[in-house]
Chain A
């Protein structure tokens, strides 16, 4: 029997035992840690925006901890219902059934706070001569009634449809506001993320796709007409903020009533301040119209 192997055996079992104790100690300490940190969870569209907000806010308020994660609007709202997040980010309005679950569980109404605007852009390959479409044409294309580019003034080529995943806030918005709740054509290909859609469109002269406003190489962003008589509008900052561009939507924060955590409340107020809204522009979305921002900011002051 040599002492070496005995010691190695004892140390290995000790390490195992100690690590179990440490692991359980860590998990029991976590709730108090979490009480100080504000968690923000939800929409993948908003995750970069949320992280940027959190980063700047934490720089200005040392000691505040804000954790932003994605996962999807539905995931964020589910986390809100389960009480595992302070703020849910969502690119779609909350469903009545979800709001009811919050009310049933916490006895408080969910509070909806629009925090930014997002314009949905429609892109085609840069070589495509088509530069504007009406909402009606878009609907006909995405429901599969128009299947050839020549029917909207383009070349004689079949139209290949690209879309976001069929449950993203972007998809739901497009379906409700452009397709007016009609079904997408079954041939519509859905890709994970706006970047993937842009990439696919950039590589395919027959393609059409939609997503957040972005300027990629190889694609052309279309101007959109509300109806045949109205002018074609490009999704510029000004056109989205004034509501002239027909496909824009609000992005939301959802909270269970007024959050108990003062940092969370202050963070939301700051997001609604001119400073917070300036960051929206930086990240590539559109700030709220000044009037609306004022009203919301006032509402959050009153909540205090």
Chain B
């Protein structure tokens, strides 16, 4: 009797287990399917750029990358999608994206890596417990709030400080963007630094190295693939970030090398224009092409970052 009840209970348990397993599997599949469907949708809408001759007359790869006739750089590559003769050069947008990304990484990388090195190697536990959550809290600020802050406050400060000709420009937008990158770079770098085995540090200190020497010449090089991965992930975020640059960059599509000019990024262009675009027009498909471009770039960059992190974890666990 007792035996029979136990067996029944056991069966029950297995069955409910199996069901729970299936439900969770379906739910996780939904998440993947969503990504796949988004992927398919974006690429389907971008495809006419490559296949539809009627659309190609106005917008094709040639229009995106080839220079037009013009006296200077800015007039050879123009983004003027709403015009009698629409001009769809992606060069100013790509240049703008690279400029803000470069500024953002240039500011965020040293700050975030230094903070990670400090909290993992030097900070007493109490201060560490204060700094770590504080920086991670920065990741929780909605990017529209950061953008608004940049537009209203940061731009005014920097305008006064540096006397830019245009108040909103690549440097202002990049600085605001850096605030969004710091928590990403910090968190991933800090994990990488923490994952360096204690034995390395102990060996270095035992050989007479100072803590500073240990941190910069032993721990940091050992964690360098992880730190590099953090920069890669930061790059991916900077390229795809929309709201901050939309609000703080001024959005003028100028083809120039000057960082004090206003810039228009790929992501901000989609955000600003998709809402009002004529459905099914060449412009509409161009915006989806830009979306596909961003999707591919950020997907590739993030994959590289995640792959490096994975490799580092295996190596540090000695599994390689």
Please list the residues of chain A having a beta carbon within 8 angstroms of any beta carbon in chain B: 1, 6, 9-10, 12-13, 16-17, 20, 44, 71-75, 77-78, 81, 92, 95, 97-98, 101, 158, 160, 165-169, 171-172, 175, 181, 183-184, 186-192, 196, 199-200, 203-204
Contacts and interface: CB of A to CB of B under 8 A. Distances in A.
Nearest to B24: A16
A186 B92 CA distance: 10
B: contact size bracket: 35 or more
B275 A186 contact: no
13 contacts: A17-B23, A160-B165, A165-B251, A166-B272, A171-B82, A172-B82, A184-B80, A186-B78, A186-B253, A189-B168, A191-B168, A196-B151, A203-B155
- Residue of A158, A167, A169 most packed against chain B (CB within 10 A): A167
Given A1-B10, A166-B273, 17 more contacts: A6-B13, A9-B13, A13-B19, A16-B20, A16-B24, A20-B23, A74-B279, A98-B278, A160-B165, A165-B273, A168-B275, A183-B87, A186-B252, A190-B250, A190-B251, A190-B264, A204-B167
B82 A166 contact: yes
Nearest to B249: A189
Contact of B12 (A6, A168, A191): A6
A200 B167 CA distance: 8
Most A Cβ at <10 Å: residue of B271, B276, B278? B276
A277 to B, nearest CB: 26
Contacts of A92: 276
B193 interface: no
Interface string B114-125: 000000000000
Nearest to A10: B16
A184 B24 CA distance: 54
A168 B272 CA distance: 8
B192 interface: no
B9 interface: yes
Contacts of B92: 186
A72 B166 CA distance: 28
Contacts of A167: 81-82, 272-273, 275-277, 283
A186 B75 contact: yes
B247 A189 contact: no
Contact of B247 (A13, A98, A188, A192): A192
Closest 8 CB pairs of A and B: A72-B275, A189-B250, A78-B279, A165-B272, A167-B276, A72-B276, A74-B276, A16-B23
Interface string B1-45: 000001001101100110110011011000000000000000000
Contact of A203 (B16, B82, B156, B276): B156
Q: Which of A165, A168, A196 has the most CB of B within 10 A?
A: A165
Contact of B23 (A13, A97, A183): A13
Contact of B9 (A1, A20, A165, A172): A1
Contacts of A186: 74-75, 78, 80, 92, 252-255
Nearest to B86: A183
A168 B276 contact: yes
